[in-house]
Structure 1
Amino acid sequence: MLTTIEGVYENGKVILTEKPPLRKKAKVLITFMEEVEPDVSLNKRPLGTMKGTIKMSEDFNDSLDDLKDYM
């Protein structure tokens, strides 16, 4: 069984964010990832850029003929 748990390596120690669901001794593999600033990608696009580009038909809320047998 493989289980992934997030953690942080700091000052020579690995600190896990949650307790592993294991009761026995287990072999582990640790992969180091570059630290990424949170929400960096959200700042690239201003909010509201798609405003006015999506149009809904007037009969959007009307029942569908294909579903009459189920209603």
Structure 2
Amino acid sequence: MKQAVEGIYDEGKVILNEQVPIKGKSKVLVVFLEDYQGKSDRKKRLMETFGTWDDNKSADDTIDDIYSSRASREGEIGL
């Protein structure tokens, strides 16, 4: 059975983010994806995305731009 579970490697220990339904020994493959960033790091990155921009358009013009840039498709979509 192959199952992927995310976790954190910390000084020689792997801490899984969820329980796995495996009893006894099991062969594993550990792939290091990226440096771990705790909640404070994620919050900092999120906060960096907030802010304002310099624009002389009115709110109504900005709303009109948003609605006019929407794309829609008529007819059925084949899958």
TM-score of the pair, normalised by structure 2? 0.47
The Cα offsets for residues 28-69 of structure 1, whole Å up to 9 and x where unpaired, read as 00001112553637844758xxx51216xxxxxxxxxxxxxx
After TM superposition, list the pairs within 5 Å mapping 1:36-51 onto structure 2.
Answer: 37-38=41-42, 40=45, 43-44=48-49, 51=62
Could you say which structure has the larger radius of gyration? Answer: 1
State the identity %: 33
Relative to the length of structure 1, the TM-score reads 0.51
1:18 matched residue in structure 2: 18
Secondary structure of 2:9's counterpart equals strand
Q: CA RMSD in A?
A: 2.7
Give the length in aligned residue pairs. 52
Q: Which runs of 5+ in 1 are unaligned?
A: 56-71
Measure how far apart 1:24 and its partner are: 3.4
